[in-house]
Amino acid sequence: MQSHRPSLLKTILFSGLLVGTLDIATALIQYSVQTGKDPLFVLRYIASGVFGNDAFAGGVHMAGWGLFFHFVIAFSFTVFFFFIYPKLGILAKNRVLTGIFYGIFIWIVMNLGVLPLSGVPQSPFDAGRATRGALILICMIGLPLSFIAGRFYSRVD
């Protein structure tokens, strides 16, 4: 009987789709509940990273671009995580801490690197918003990736 070896590509595709969906769904719901406004604004905001203020005047197609860019970013962080996981043995020691630290890492990269270099409107630092953002990234991306990668790599060893 042949043992079932999971496919790395399939696992990365599933993981990127999962964490990207969890993250954007949370962002859309949070924005809608907090503001009572159209949640597609969030997707237009993401699109503004490339299209600048024109994204806010755009319709559904700009929201579509925002969703596309969001998933490109989510898949990039997913691929990176699956690349570094087997190389850094410490990541397998505690999946919860790994997920927390990876979520914080994503927050730092996005907020101190990607967003300032993009065309999105900049706003002053708000500790509450930063904490909520980091918690979302921890819970919706960091922890799921940590547990999925941990399970994947424990099955291929």
Q: Give the model confidence (pLDDT) of 41-58 as tens digits.
A: 999 999 999 999 999 998
Burial of 12 from C-beta contacts in 10 A (0-12 / 13-18 / 19+): buried
Task: Report percent pLDDT > 90 for the chain.
Answer: 84
41 contacts 31 by C-beta, under 8 angstroms: yes
Q: 3-state DSSP call for residue 38? A: coil
Angle among Cα 127, 77, 41 to the nearest 5 degrees reads 55
Segment 55-81 shows an average pLDDT of 96
pTM above 0.85, yes or no: yes
What lies within 8 Å, CB to CB, of 109 at 6+ separation is none
Q: Give the model confidence (pLDDT) of 91-118 as tens digits.
A: 788 999 999 999 999 999 999 999 999 9
